[in-house]
Amino acid sequence: MKTPKIVAVVQARMGSSRLPGKTMMDLAGTPLLNRVLRQLSGSTLLDEVVVATSKDSSDDIIAGFAETQAFRVVRGPEDDVLSRYVLAADVSDADIVVRITADCPLHSPDTVDEVIEGFIDAGVDYASNVSPYTRPEGQDVEVFTREVLSQASVNAEMATDREHVTPWIRRKANIKRLDFLHSSPVQSPQRWSVDYLDDLEFARCVWSWLDRQGAGPFIFEEIMTAVKESSAVPGSSIINEGFYLSLFKEATGEAACPLDLKKSYSWLERSDQVIPGAAQTYSKSWRHHIKGVTPIFLDSGAGSVVTDVDGNQYVDLIQGLLPNILGYANEEVNLAAHERALKGHSFSLPHPIEVQLAERLCRLIPCAEMVRFGKNGSDATAGAVRVARAYTEREHVAVCGYHGWQDWFIGTTSRSAGVPGAVRKLAHPFPYNDPEALDTLLSSMPNQFAAVIMEPVNFYWPDKGYLEKVKEITHRHGALLIFDEICSGFHFGLGGAQKIFGVTPDLATFGKAIGNGWPISCIVGRKDVMKVFEDAFVSFTFAGDVAAMAAAMKVLDLLESGDTYHRMTAAGTKLFDGAQVMAAAAGLKDVFQIYGHPHWAIFSFIDENGNDDSATRALWIQELTRRGVLILTTFNISSTLDESLVTKVLSAFAHAFKRVQLARKLGVDPKDWLDGPIPVPAFRARV
């Protein structure tokens, strides 16, 4: 059998819109392109390196330099980079093509070889190390067969596909792909490519340090050492900015076609007759969507895609209000629950899996010494508050964030109908990131507060030292500190926000992600406090549902052993950054705002007075929905949100921003372009 020929194609041109001429700029005594080519010479698997540039006269300098260094050069259209790759593969007779960009002077040969080896071992058509990033951006490697490259050349019609070479390949479900993960990954993506002057200065600083160590080529660990020892400061621009701008450039401001939603609204008519509010969860009802525009009833879900009762499909950025971090219908999780349920799942006495899951949570969660289970977040927060009151023999509670539907908390909101006045007087909201406000509140009623319950993090990150101050103030006033981690727990990482920030509460509540959609929650905390559950009555029939516990055990298996968090970060970062880049390109930088973590972010549109612009937000969401994206006001990220789905969402973003931009340009009130009423939120709990 013929040994496949492996050829690296380095795409290079002088006409960069962000840093013209960068390819041949001086990089510590030699052109930037030369640094890339020298580094690739250290690869043990590449048979040849070809430089692919354009026919534009400005790129003559690139072709001339590469030829003097004895590299084969091909030249093609300036914007159709894909056709240049086909030409390079043809003239070099490549079987396997490795894509490298010339703006990556800190690439390393071992990184290239690792991805090539992974590609060959897996027997796939395409492999890359960029989704998720486990090396800095600027060490990007994409490997694909010549056959797949040819398919892309014939079928890719979008300008973005041809400019960026591989998007068509990454979108096609029938192409076997490998997301290659390097060992000892870089935990947060770093930027090592060159698009702006600050990137160039960073690379110059690193190479000045490396040159003192020898001639090279240098492997990844040597470059990483140089980055640290040189104290070089990476550039501040957004990773993948060029791709986001390409999608935006290609988008139009035309309105998307309305969806066929006849069955959805037929079901709504029936539901209105038998279900108050037509839904079991307020945030899942039609009230939070644009009636007449968005679907009301869903039929099925798989991964990050849901199908409504009319057969329309959507990339789901709601994910059941956060729990499905492994996506809908995860086979391993569902199988674990199914196998357990076949043997019974709501027993007359405790089952050993309750102990096993509790032991595991005690290992993973810093504050956990004992565990009690529930079915939803409100069970857990209400139980934690009841135990805190019993332990301290006090009644008042300070609250910050959203803590569920039960009387003790919901009475603090505008949705307090049915809550006794006496109960409403016992809970007192305080603002986030304001320790003085908490201290003042607790001081206003000395020795009367049983607990401070708060979301340690939601869309807004705590100020440095804030959570430590909260703990000190709470304990100084004799109260217990409860972290409500129903949303943050296992969503940002194992162990919850308390592990991330190093602040251990007395009690904590977890739910949502722990079951990946299976109903389970828990209260964890100090043993002396948790022991109070033996007297404070918190008990219900389905708290010991072992099918849900089996699901949770499998979720924890996957979270501990897999790449879930890397994938969530990769997808969430691209959506977060892409939305910002496109908003700025549309002239909406000060209008569109987004906050939060890549796994869970919230966005808004504001008017010239800084107030919420719900009409513009609704217009943006209308366009997204009709282009196949289901969304409320947050990005709820699943690990199944792959490159193809991310690109679909980003493309929808681009069209939606163009639509808003056009409305502003024409002086159109966004409400005039809406095909339904503006959704009105139930209340605002997080401030």
Residue 564: the pLDDT is 93
Task: Give the DSSP per-residue string, 272-302.
Answer: HHHSGGGSSSGGGSGGGS-TTTS-S-EEEEE
Share of the chain above pLDDT 90, in %: 88
Is the preceding peptide bond at 132 cis, omega within 30 degrees of 0? yes
Task: Give the DSSP per-residue string, 42-108.
Answer: T-SS-SEEEEEEESSGGGHHHHHHHHHTT-EEEEE-SS-HHHHHHHHHHHHT-SEEEEEETT-TT--
Q: What share of the chain is helix, strand, coil (3-state, %, to 5)?
A: 45, 15, 40
pLDDT surpasses 90 at 687: no
Instruction: State both tokens at 290.
Output: 């644009």
Known catalytic residue: 512? yes
- pLDDT tens track for 586-636: 999 999 999 999 999 999 999 999 999 999 999 999 999 999 999 999 999
Q: Which strands make up the sheet holding 142-145, listed edge to edge?
A: 72-76, 48-54, 6-11, 96-101, 142-145, 126-128, 177-179
- pLDDT tens track for 497-514: 999 999 999 999 999 999
pLDDT surpasses 80 at 349: yes
Query: Which one of 133, 391, 402, 565 is the catalytic residue?
Result: 402
Known catalytic residue: 211? no
Query: Which one of 499, 512, 574, 658 is the catalytic residue?
Result: 512
Residue 187: the pLDDT is 58
For 522, the 3-state DSSP assignment is strand
CA separation for the pair 670, 69 (Å, rounded):
58
Question: Would you say 677 and 290 are in contact if contact means Cβ atoms under 8 Å apart?
Answer: yes
Handedness of CA 271, 274, 277, 279 (dihedral sign): negative
Give residue for tokens 């050829």: 7
Report which secondary-structure segment, H or E, holds 316. strand 313-316
pLDDT surpasses 70 at 185: no
Phi then psi dihedrals of residue 76, to 5 deg: -150, -165
Nearest one of 173, 247, 132, 240 to 649, comparing CA atoms: 247
For 178, the 3-state DSSP assignment is strand
CA separation for the pair 644, 172 (Å, rounded):
8
Known catalytic residue: 26? no
Question: Would you say 492 and 356 are in contact if contact means Cβ atoms under 8 Å apart?
Answer: no
Handedness of CA 430, 432, 435, 436 (dihedral sign): negative
Angle, to 10 degrees, between the axis of helix 564-585 and the axis of helix 546-561?
Answer: 70
Nearest one of 553, 496, 492 to 520, comparing CA atoms: 553
* pTM of the complete model: 0.90
Distance in angstroms between the alpha carbons of the first and the last residue of the chain = 66
What pLDDT band is residue 425 in, cutting at 50, 70 and 90?
A: very high
Question: Would you say 516 and 326 are in contact if contact means Cβ atoms under 8 Å apart?
Answer: yes
Share of the chain above pLDDT 70, in %: 98
CA separation for the pair 577, 221 (Å, rounded):
28
Phi then psi dihedrals of residue 635, to 5 deg: -100, 105
**In whole angstroms, how far apart are CA 526 and each of 339, 397, 540, 541?**
33, 19, 22, 25
Residue 16: the pLDDT is 87
| Average model confidence (pLDDT) across the chain | 94
pLDDT surpasses 60 at 646: yes
For 150, the 3-state DSSP assignment is helix
Give residue for tokens 């006045």: 421
CA separation for the pair 193, 202 (Å, rounded):
9
Query: Which one of 484, 506, 545, 577 is the catalytic residue?
Result: 484
pLDDT surpasses 60 at 569: yes
Question: Would you say 521 and 377 are in contact if contact means Cβ atoms under 8 Å apart?
Answer: yes
Phi then psi dihedrals of residue 457, to 5 deg: -155, 140
Phi then psi dihedrals of residue 208, to 5 deg: -60, -35
Residue 274: the pLDDT is 95
What pLDDT band is residue 389 in, cutting at 50, 70 and 90?
A: very high
Instruction: State both tokens at 451.
Output: 């607990």
For 553, the 3-state DSSP assignment is helix
Whole-number CA gyration radius for the chain? 28
Residue 131: the pLDDT is 83
Angle, to 10 degrees, between the axis of helix 614-626 and the axis of helix 643-666?
Answer: 130
Question: Would you say 117 and 48 are in contact if contact means Cβ atoms under 8 Å apart?
Answer: no
The stretch 380-392 carries a mean pLDDT of 97
Phi then psi dihedrals of residue 465, to 5 deg: 85, -5
pLDDT surpasses 60 at 683: no
Task: Give the DSSP per-residue string, 330-375.
Answer: -HHHHHHHHHHHTT-SS-SS--HHHHHHHHHHHHHSTT-SEEEEES
- pLDDT tens track for 513-564: 999 999 999 999 999 999 999 999 888 889 999 999 999 999 999 999 888 9
- pLDDT tens track for 192-230: 999 999 999 999 999 999 999 999 899 999 999 999 999
CA separation for the pair 296, 272 (Å, rounded):
12
Per the DSSP assignment, residues forming a β-bridge with 303 are 328
CA separation for the pair 439, 473 (Å, rounded):
6
pLDDT surpasses 70 at 96: yes
CA separation for the pair 66, 59 (Å, rounded):
11
Residues 6+ apart with CB under 8 A from 272: 278
Question: Would you say 647 and 571 are in contact if contact means Cβ atoms under 8 Å apart?
Answer: no
